[in-house]
Amino acid sequence: MNRTTRIIASTIGVMLAIAGIDHGFFETLQGNRPTSGLIIQAIGPEMNLWGDEEAFTIVPNFLITGLLAILVSLAIIVWSVGFIQTKHGATVFGLLFILLFLVGGGIAAQILFVPVTWAAARRINKPLNWWRKVLPDGLRRKLAKIWPVMLSLGSISFLIGLFIAITGYVPGISDDERILAICWSFVFGGGLGIFLLTFVAGFASDLQKQAGEAV
């Protein structure tokens, strides 16, 4: 088993589930009332928070949508931590996120983060032969050492972006366009960008461990 790849995929799965809980929480706060369509604003205007959070839902009720989003997100956390390495772990992981998308768990994370995380999860129990060919030994050794730092930085950046998306709070800045740009920089530039590099570093770490075991 590629243990580093498993740790990285599990961690990012938890991060994305936290975003799903965020959506679900604010949807439940809007109460037992009908939605206005398939695309909803998770954060209602009456909450007086900056911005909004778009979500897609097939459930025409804010309270039920929110509760389902929270429950599915909790299931994703449990699966990511305990079962993603099993035979059908990656498949169930992907299906849970599809379900989360359908019940108001958010849009951007499901479209941009989930596919690459699912693809990496599929390599947990499979050979990394292609990466062995494209990563020279010297680069592989360097990357293998830094994956924990990269995973930590990506997670922190993602959580900061999530905080800004909810509150709109950036010290010393009040312009909405600048706040949005900073938010996306943390979520996509820092979060997604660093996570992609973290997966490569994780593959390098697993290859190094395999090389050590083979000696």
- Residue 145, pLDDT > 60, answer yes
Q: Side chain identity at 29, as an amino acid letter?
A: L
CB 64 within 8 A of CB 104: no
User: Would the CA dihedral through 4, 7, 9, 12 be positive or negative?
Assistant: negative
Diameter over CA atoms, the chain: 63
Residue 108's pLDDT is 85
Tens digits of residue pLDDT in 19-67 = 999 999 999 999 999 998 999 998 877 775 666 688 999 999 999 999 9
The pLDDT, as a whole number, for residue 20 is: 96
Using CA atoms, how far apart are residues 108 and 25, in angstroms rounded to an integer?
17
Task: Report the Cα–Cα distance between both ends of the chain, in Å, rounded.
Answer: 18
Residue 193 has pLDDT above 60, yes or no: yes
The residue among 213 and 112 whose pLDDT is bigger is 112
- For every residue of 58-109, DSSP letters joined together read SSS-HHHHHHHHHHHHHHHHHHHHHTTTSTTHHHHHHHHHHHHHHBTS-SHH
Q: Express each pLDDT in 158-174 by its tens digit.
A: 999 999 988 889 999 98
Phi then psi for residue 55, to 5 deg, are -150, 160
Task: For residue range 114-142, list pLDDT tens digits in order.
Answer: 999 999 999 999 999 999 999 999 999 99
pLDDT-based confidence at 189, cuts 50/70/90?
confident
How far apart are alpha carbons 52 and 109 in whole angstroms? 15
- Examine the pLDDT at 110 and tell me if it is beyond 80: yes
Q: Name the average pLDDT for the chain.
A: 92
182 pLDDT band, cuts 50/70/90, is very high
Q: Where are the chain's structural domains?
A: 3-214
Question: Is 214's pLDDT higher than 70?
Answer: no
- pLDDT of 49 reads 67
β partners of residue 173: 170
Give me the DSSP letters along 137-172. Answer: HHHHHHHHHHHHHHHHHHHHHHHHHHHHHHH--BTT
